[in-house]
Amino acid sequence: MALKLASESTFRRIVDTLLSAATADHTFVSFGDSESSTLRFANNQVVQNVSVRDPNVSVRVAFGKKAGSTSTNRLDTASLTTLVRQAETIARLAPEDPEYLPPLPKQTYMKVPSYRESTATISPMELAKRAKPVIDQCAKNKLVGAGILANGVSARGVAASSGLFGYEQFTEAEFSLTATEGDNSGWTYNSHRDVEALNIAAGTIRAVEKALRSREPRELPAGHYPVILEPAAVAGVFGVIFWETDAKSYYKGDSALAGKLGSTILDPRLTVRTDPAHPDLMGDGFDGNGLAVRPQVWVENGVLKQLYYDRFTAQEHNVEPTPYPGAPIMSLSGPTVKSIDDLIAQTKRAILITNFWYIRSVDPTDMTITGMTRDGTFLVEDGKIVCGLRNFRFHDSPLRCFQQVDAATAPMESITMESGKMLLPAVRLPDFHLSSVTKF
């Protein structure tokens, strides 16, 4: 049976109640409802199976430029009326917000393939059946497996006294596995609208292989190395660039990209775009303010082409506002390598990195970041994985290390615990700064 959540007609009833009760100049309504089921396993056994329902409605009102907002998870008429009154009380007491703008007018939204019946209808028992081969594979290889297998269905809506109205439903399935033995580990993680597209079996095999291959890791000295970054590792290093496209920071001079609009910032063969309607990504039809999303090109042939303009900054610079760059795709023009294994086979010597974690900013002026390798770091020599390596800490900037890309695959599914779903290639970079060595 499909997971249940508030329908569009329910959201319209909520909107009508709130707008009828409102006396402010402007009223904006934001709504969310979700139900999810999560199976967790650890020590090669299922340890938890939980289901969560989480409805929420918030209202923002304004008298001129004096705005106030409140939220609740109670959807009855009396609670919604109280919600409006509380928001109006706050707004009357608030100072004027010089950047406040009235709600958007009615928008036309693109159709995003965000809902899959297969994900909405899968049962907890079926999730357990799909987790069993994962656990068995770990146990067979004397590894300890831990991870999750989850599905959920959500609804979100926006509406305003201006005539703005948007509602959409979407599904999400998620699978992760960390296979460990002592200090060695292997990892896989994927998220998709369609539970059937998680590639659980293939991901499990790769995670187990990484854990087995990383036994008795060797230690190499810190330094500058050629590296092969798998897509998750690319996400860790490259994802910070999207934050730096913020136009407000750009014009204030706070962004590492300040002054670089129209200039080459990456390898001239790299293009970065966003495609909210791509079936393998997690795009939405509208952002949190109800602004319609659209495909956009951010970097074209290495050149920075687009900034992210919030509505106020867009008005300041007389341009159209842009939705935040969700559903990113990075691609390399020209010949590409078919797979990560082929990329390895064509490499004389490099360090193969599966993933990074605990990524933090070091120097915002040039986008230098730091983090640690994780879940499979290997030495590649003469086209083969020679051995596992102890993990490294890195210090580098995507603006430096992506100036030259030696080789890349086509875009592949990529997601980490610190970044959303992207389509990114695995890449071989000639120079990456691994600044210190860990003891595990």
- Whole-number pLDDT of residue 4: 66
Which CATH architecture fits 8-207?
Answer: 2-Layer Sandwich (3.30)
Share of the chain above pLDDT 70, in %: 99
Domain spans in the chain, listed from the N-terminal domain onward: 8-207, 216-440
Report pTM: 0.93
Share of the chain above pLDDT 90, in %: 93
Report DSSP letters for 180-206, one per residue. EETTEEEEEEEEESSGGGS-HHHHHHH
Kindly state the tokens that stand for 398. 């995507």
| Local structure of 315: helix, strand or coil | helix
Reported as type and span, the H/E element at residue 157 is: strand 144-160
Residues 58-95 as b/e (b if ≥16 CB within 10 A, e otherwise) read ebbbbbebbbbbbebeebeeeebeebbebbbebbeebe
- Whole-number pLDDT of residue 1: 45
Kindly state the tokens that stand for 208. 């187990």
Taking residues 366-389, what's their average pLDDT?
96
Asked if residue 183 has pLDDT above 90, the reply is no
- Whole-number pLDDT of residue 381: 98
Reported as type and span, the H/E element at residue 262 is: none
Per-residue pLDDT tens for 317-374?
999 999 888 899 999 999 999 999 999 999 999 999 999 999 999 999 999 999 999 9
**End-to-end alpha-carbon separation of the chain, Å?**
46
